[in-house]
Every structure is written in C-alpha cells, then in structure tokens.
Structure 1
C-alpha cells in the first residue's frame, strides 16, 4: 500500500506546529517501482563543458586497472588507452591492481616501494607486503559484516593501514603515472588539471562504498581546483557503475549488433572480482541514440579471481600428502602457469584433455594417484571443469537469468546479450552462455577489446557523449530511500499503531515512526533528477544553522508505512548548513529567540552515487548535504 504523505514531514521526530496545522508545502508522492517520475522535480544533472574538454576514464578493478582518455579538441573525440606501464617494455591495456610496501617493524611507517607490474613481480622478503584484491574491502557485505563475510581471501594490510588508505595509495600511483603519459600525448597540463575524471564501480556497491571511492580518489589528487574561484571542482569526479560504462561503449556498436530503437539488450560485465548485469533499451533515432536502463541491476562476486582461488584449492587438495609442493613459491608457480595459459583457453571440449603443470620442486616422489608424474602435476580436464570452472560460471549464468527475469513482460524481449570484461575472454564462459541463452536471445556478442569496454565507455561518458554517441538518459533506483518522520495522526494510524500516537507541544496528535519514501526501489529516474521534498528546522539561535537527519534504505519491493513493518537500515546521517539559504538569513535576522524555517532538500540518485542538494524556493542550488555513512 502506498502511504499518504503529509504536507510537511519533519525527519527525526520534531514536527513544526505550522506543519501540523496545515501550512501549505509540497512533498512529492512516493515514486513507485517501475514508475517514471513526472512530478515537480528538477533536472540536476551535472552538465560538462564539452567543448575542448579532456575526459579521463578509470577502471579500478579487483585484479587489473586501466586508464583511457579522450578530448574533443585535441583528439576529435577518439578514446585512447594507456598501453605502456612501469616494469615492462611490452604493451598492456591494463596493469595489475597490486601495490607493495616496505615496513620493517609494526611501529614504522609503511612505505610504497612498487605498484602495478613491478609490485606483482616482486619476490617478498622480510618486512615487505604485497597487497592485492583490496578492492573487495569496499564490497557492501564486507563493509557491513567485516572481512570474514567475504568469500575471497582478503589481503593482510601493513600495520596502521586501513583499506581506504591502500586504495588511495594505489590510485595515487596510477594517477601520477597516467598524468605523465597523457601530458606526453596531448602536450597540455592545463587540460589535464581541468579534466573530468570518470571512475567506475561494481553495480552491487552501495552508496557507502561509492563514497569511500570518492574520498580515496580526491585524496589521490585525481581532481583539484584548477583556478581561483573553482568551487565545483569536486564535481569533475563522477562515479558510474561498470555496466553503465560498458553499455555506453556497447551502444556505439548498435549497427554491428543490428539493434534498432526500442529494442533491448543486456550487458554482462564479467571482471576479475565482480560480475554485473544490467538491461537497457535503445531510444531515439539512429542518428542520435540514447539508452535507458530498464530494470534494477544485478551483481555479485563471481569474477575470474574465484576461478584462480578454486584452482589453488584443487591443487592443495590433490597434493595434500605432498607438502613440499604447497609452499608459497610452488603455489605461485602453479597459479601463474594456469592463469597465463589454460585459464582463458579452457573450453567445454576439454574434458578428455590432461593439463600438465611443471612442479617448482621436482625432486618429490612419483605419485600418479594424485597426479604427480615425473616432475609434473597432471589434472584431467573433467576435474578442472567440475571443480574450478563450472561452480563460478554457473553463478554468472544465474545472474544473467535473474536479469532477464527483471525485464518487464510488456517489452518485446531482449534482442542481444553483450559480454564484456576480462573474464568474458574465457572460452568456457562464452560457450556456456551460448549453450544456455542462444535459443532465447538472437544475438550473443563479445565485442573486440572486451577487456577495456568499461574503461572506454567511462571515458566516452566524460566527453559528454556528443556527436551522435549514446548516453544513458534514465536509471533505475536500486533501493528505496526513506526518511523516518512524525506525521499528523490519521484514523488508520489510530487503528494500526495506537502505541505510536502522541501529542506534540502544540497539542496536535501525531504518529511517530512513520516512513516517508523519497524514492522507491525500481523507480525510473531521469539521469541526475532531483527528488525534492520540503522540511522544517527549529533553531534556538541564528548560530544553530545545521540541519541533520538520517537517511534509511530498504531492499524490499514493498512499501512500508511504519518503521516496524519490514527491514530498513540506516544508510547515512546527512547534514546541511542552511546559512546560505536566503529564507534562513531573513528568519535569523528578524528572530528575537527561537524560530522555524522551512526549506527544500532534493535527493539525487545518479547511477552509483546518492547526493543531497539544498534548494531555494525558486529551485536554485545553494548548498550540498554532507553524508556521514553509518556502521562503517
């Protein structure tokens, strides 16, 4: 049941006497699942100054990261990837997400000694730390429940280093080197200092993880004030989901995929740590396509990293009676041989193939029962398929199934499934996807450069997507965003929750623990749309100008009226300084004691991030809410 919202909701418990007695204000009706918002809201999308603008896309991955860039002025809108990296004369489109520290004692400072290829290749000695997979620390489950909640092996960190510190350190190294390479290519430091930076995150991340990424990126110097008076420099850093970036890249291939306006496609972004799926439809004319998200995204930790972990577990199981092969150097040799040769090439036709891996220690006994044959470990393809590939790939297939089930039944169906990401290069994964879905989906495609589709899409997003390139015009709210408030009591409240009914200081009956939905899960939102609501603050003096409230979220498809009806959780405490508001200044100036001020706050749910904006009565932005995430 959709709750009836009162004219003015006061989060946190205090209700204005004027609100309770009927002062006119507008709170938009709850935005329902699948409903397009058309009520009074403002388009608050950040509009890039695309003329001559440099855009830098960064795909910060669990196992590999990359940087791409483009400029309308210097590069005619073309996107280029950085290909050369420290530690190698060869070219690579991505670099390992790995950083190494030296810390001789727990009390000493951890010093960065290498990153990327050089860190990955390091042989560790006493006092050295090699840190990989640290992106998984920002997974929502780990943020809520701690490192033991992760299905992957989270790395040990140097003493005194928090996960956000390691992310910042790595991004600092990546950005410092990227700036050198980009400057060599475009020859203008000024363009780089004012560039838009687009950072991608997994679809399953919540706002807390995105905020940590934003904090780390800013601390790494990815955006900064380019000139005096540049107050909005933080807005040049945009965070979007990985499937959205991949969809932008894939939409440029619409002619190749024979897609037409109104047709739908699903993106499966299979990366190193996560696999994300999302459904989009093409809208507009072929000369100026846009894409719109059709339903809530799906994501999980099911990337190629988990193939590596299962392979290592298989090796340990086979060689449990031969510990000489289970030291770190031996396991590293097995992992490297598997990842470099067999991991991507393994296919559904390899059941009868025997895969041979050289042992690091070759002096051990010959033991064919466990697969040891004259200095080699021999594993049947059927065993690798059963124990290594199939459990992880089945998770990917399940994610795609879930995404397909979310596509509205009123639509004509999904015309294309597009596989991107490094894991999409796996022959086994592609074969299983074709086996499972080819009868239902006409086109199953893996574009060229699939490993950098997300990276290139991020850079293209930052260019403003001009010149006929596709842009995402609408997104689906992944969760419900809710405020807890007191509202005038109704007959329904008196019947349903008599214990919640109290009288306020004005003698008015109000119902405590009511929920006011700012936006419901599954709502269709224009990109950057502002969902505007009116609030009221009681201040005891002109110095008491900070408004604070708690924003709640729910993953349920149901709409709750009261706080005890279903699971909701605190997301963040948001606070905003009202002193920049003209109505506040007038009220504070004329007040002789305490006073009330009404004002408008807008919630912006934009791809991966959630923002709060303070607005004047005319809709002009005069401030941003500060979000303090709870429970992290």
Structure 2
C-alpha cells in the first residue's frame, strides 16, 4: 500500500493571540495561514491570528477568540508554567481565580481552546483539500512553546493537545526557533547570509518576549546552530496597554474610572492600540488623544476626550522596551563569550513590528555595526515557521541545553567535602556514603547535537534472600533538572524532579549475577543499570538498560514543578 501524502499543521499557541498554518508536504509546499476568524458581527478575513481567550457557561465552553466577550479567560497559557510568570499581572491572576468558577483545571482549559482552534484549522483545510482530508493525508502537528519553559510545562502542553483531539503525531518546537526558520529562510533567499554570521532572533509577542541566537554554519542549503542559551520574559506589548490604562486611571481618578462601563474602556484601549501604539515612533512633542465615554464631568463629548503627551507615551514604551534591551544585551554577552560578534537582530512577532521598538534598538546598535531587521509578516512568523519546521527542520545542526539534567546518587563520603547531614551508613560495604549527590550528565549551555545521547551508570545492592520469594524486583530511577546557571552539587539545593522511571527485572536474572559477602555478613548482589536520556527539540526521551538490553517495562511519570 502506497504511503499517504502528509499535511503539516503549525500551531502558534500564544499568550494573547494564536495562529494556525498548514501545508501539503509535496511539490510547492506552500504554507497557508488561516486568516478568517468569526467576530461578534462578521468574519475578519485578513487577521493572521485570533485572541487566545475562551468563555464558559457553567463548565461548558461557549465562545472563543474574537467572540469570547462574556468574562473571557485570558492569559491562561502562562499558568502551564507554574511559578515562572508573575501572578501579579491582572489577567494572570484573573485566570487563576476563575478556574474554580468553571470547575476546570488549567490543562482542561488549554485543551478546550486547542480543540476549537484545531476545529477552525480543519475547516480551512477542508475547503482547499476536501472534507475527507484526514483520510487522504497523514496529519502531523508542530506546536510551539516558549523557549524558557520547563520540561514539565512542555509535557503539560503536549498532553493538553492530545486530549484536545489533535492528530496523534505532534512535535514541539520553541517559538523563537520557529520564528528563526521563517525569518532566516527569508534572509537566506536574498543572499544576505554568510558562514559565521550570528543573528539574534527576538520574538516579541503580546505577552512574552523570547530571544535566541544562531550562527550560520552553511549558507546553502542553510544550516545553523544555537549560540548561548535562549531566554525570555513577560514584557510583551500587552504591558503597554496595562501601563496606558493605569495612566488613564490616574488621570481620570480611580473612583471615576472604576464607574465607567467596560465597553467604553475597551473602546478607549482599542483606540490606543490601533491609532497610537503600532504607529508610535517616539515623537515626544506630539499631542495624542483618546476618547473615554463617561470620563468628563458633563454630557459634552469634548469632556470625554483625554489628551496624552508624547513624552508620556515614550515613558510607557521605555519601561517595557527597557526589559527587552536587557534580554538582547544578555544574548550579546553570551555571543561575545564564544568569541563571536552579532551581525543582526531580527524582530518577529506582533510587538516585533513596532516602529518604536525598531528605532530604539537601531539607535542603540547601529553605531556598533549591528543591523536591526523587521521580518515581513512578522505577526505570523512563528505560525508559518512551525509549519516550515515540520516540512524541513534539519537546518538546525545543534542546540544548547537550557537546563542541566542528571541523577542523585550515593557516593563515598569524604570529610570536608560532603555535608554531615548527607552521611549515611552502607551496611553492604561497611562504609559511610554521602546521599543525594548530583551527577549532572548534561549541563546548561552545553551543545546538543542531533542524535546525541547522554547517561549515567548506577547500581543498587540487593539482599540475596529478598529475591528468593519474588518473581521480579522493582526499581525506580528519578531524573532531575536544574534551572540554575551553576547546577547544585546536592539534590536538596535546587534539583527539581522531572520524571520517575519505574521498571522491573526478573529475580531469576538478578540471581545469575555475581554475589559478594557484605560487611554485615549478608550475601549481596549489585544490580548495575545504565540510564540514558535523549534530548529532542522541545522534549526528551528516557531508557534504562540492564545487562545491555532495554528493560522491558518502563513507566515514565512526570512530576509537577516544586515552585
């Protein structure tokens, strides 16, 4: 039977806006972006993205995207990464507080939204490939996640996507990597890339800003590798809205502002977004204005017109953009540490199209010979790049680990080196050991080439008599990770449990191993096993080997972040 052709679906699941694109993996491989979204009055035929929001009646989802106007959930995506984002942000706090009202977990809310988004994607594909496309084609999904997300947050995203009914073949890719593919392919086609060039990709979205750096290792066909470690933060364009709203609230008076109808506030913020925010270039002398019905002292419309000086708008932008400056500078420092220079900063994402952000970064770095470039169709760069990644992702030859990975083992206790609290007695060998000492097999910032496998060896002493009455013996191995720049030596100093691997070995196989007489007079058998981890683009795989063979039964249980 001939293999079916493939459709690749790229999903940019964003903090404030999401998008979906797709392409048939044959011939021209043209990427189509879904850009028809239902609103309360009609369809918007030219919007490449749709709001990441959902409304419920009881615990049933009833409206999504542009139509979700009844106390909609917003910012729920960031709750998948526990403790990383500030819950002081109003919408993050509101999303957290509202979960109990609909009797839903955050994972279920994410699934509800992704189910709807995939439904809109299927409608678009059906119109162009036929309603039976799922029978005619193999479907593969590439779902984007922030570069700074922990393995646990990525795993939660993947599970939510599968629960939402997306095709079972799902790959995760980081948002800046997807954006880099869309953008660097564009630059490469124009002949502007040379071997050794280093680019910083700044994916500035509505809620988060992610940065990652790449060096060109081959110009044609394009191949790149990561430089340094990607990072990001909550400094997207929505924080301009929040700061502007706080300014208006202060100017009008908090009591007055709180009495104004929400629809008038929304209209005012829409006016700020469409007429000021995206066109602002930094003119401090210009006078701007927005209308806020109910802000005046009488019924005259002029009383509802609020004037805002350009200098105030500059201050609002500077506060948010200053945080982006810091992220860019951090990338620069990592690149310099490798003995290289940055050629250009590529701005993508909705906020990446900001004239002010562009002019600000250009002013800072132009004198250093560093170009600042804005991507064409930057708002959909991540979405398009996700699909392109599914079509061709071998262009990235290596990445850098964002976390350290390792295991907690017992080692021989050394006075002065190990802490007394970690001292334990090993009756089988008659020596003191230091418990919970970390062995990091992959360290943060270390290069990961495709297909690289790392691992560690360990052994467990077992009393011979315990094997006589059981058919199998159970074991567990726990994999830890650390976000710290310098990974801790002890488990208790910040190692975070990622996954526990449970497996069983036949007692008969263990009894064939060499026995030894322990210091306590008992007969012991040392069971040696090898643990291996294989890091993929945005997830990782495990395996346990005993006597050179993969253990037959392996169960991986992800654990929640301790924070």
With normalisation by structure 2, the TM-score equals 0.86
2:429 aligned partner: 507
Task: Say yes or no: does 1:443 pair with 2:386.
Answer: no
The CA distance in 1 between the partners of 2:260 and 2:231, in whole Å, is 37
2:181 aligned partner: 248
- Partner of 1:356, secondary structure, is strand
**Larger RCO (alpha carbons 8 Å, 6+ apart):** 1
- Partner of 1:417, secondary structure, is strand
1:72 aligned partner: 25
* CA separation of 1:431 and 1:542: change in aligned 2, threshold 3 A: farther
Q: Structure 1 residue aligned with 2:501, among 567, 575, 589?
A: 575
1:55 aligned partner: 8
- Partner of 1:558, secondary structure, is coil
Matches within 5 A, 1:297-336: 297-320=230-253, 322-323=256-257, 326-336=260-270
1:228 aligned partner: none
The CA distance in 2 between the partners of 1:259 and 1:177, in whole Å, is 37
Task: Say yes or no: does 1:422 pair with 2:350.
Answer: yes
Matches within 5 A, 1:197-346: 197-224=141-168, 236-252=169-185, 253-256=187-190, 258-284=192-218, 286-320=219-253, 322-323=256-257, 326-346=260-280
Q: CA deviation at 1:268?
A: 0.5
2:47 aligned partner: 92
Q: Structure 1 residue aligned with 2:418, among 497, 514, 524?
A: 497
- Partner of 1:195, secondary structure, is strand
Matches within 5 A, 1:392-431: 392-431=320-359
Q: Structure 2 residue aligned with 1:487, among 411, 424, 438?
A: 411
Identify the range of structure 1 (613-622 vs 178-187) with the bigger mean alpha-carbon deviation.
Answer: 613-622
Equivalent residues, number: 537
1:524 aligned partner: 447
Equivalent pair of 1:550/1:570 in contact (CA under 8 Å) = no
Q: CA deviation at 1:547?
A: 3.2
What do residues 90-117 of structure 1 show as CA deviations (whole Å, max 9, x unaligned)? 23211111111112xxxxxx11111112
1:626 aligned partner: 557
Q: CA deviation at 1:586?
A: 6.2
1:169 aligned partner: 112
Q: Give ranges in structure 1 of 5+ residues lacking alignment.
A: 1-48, 104-109, 225-235
With normalisation by structure 1, the TM-score equals 0.78
The CA distance in 2 between the partners of 1:378 and 1:195, in whole Å, is 52
What do residues 495-523 of structure 1 show as CA deviations (whole Å, max 9, x unaligned)? 32373444412234233232211211111
Task: Say yes or no: does 1:376 pair with 2:376.
Answer: no
1:81 aligned partner: 33
Identify the range of structure 1 (236-245 vs 494-503) with the bigger mean alpha-carbon deviation.
Answer: 494-503
Equivalent pair of 1:265/1:418 in contact (CA under 8 Å) = yes
2:74 aligned partner: 132
2:62 aligned partner: 113
- Partner of 2:28, secondary structure, is coil
Q: CA deviation at 1:378?
A: 1.4
The CA distance in 2 between the partners of 1:343 and 1:478, in whole Å, is 33
Q: Structure 1 residue aligned with 2:297, among 358, 364, 368?
A: 364
What is the CA RMSD across the aligned residues, in angstroms?
A: 3.1
Q: Give ranges in structure 2 of 5+ residues lacking alignment.
A: 514-522
Equivalent pair of 1:141/1:150 in contact (CA under 8 Å) = no
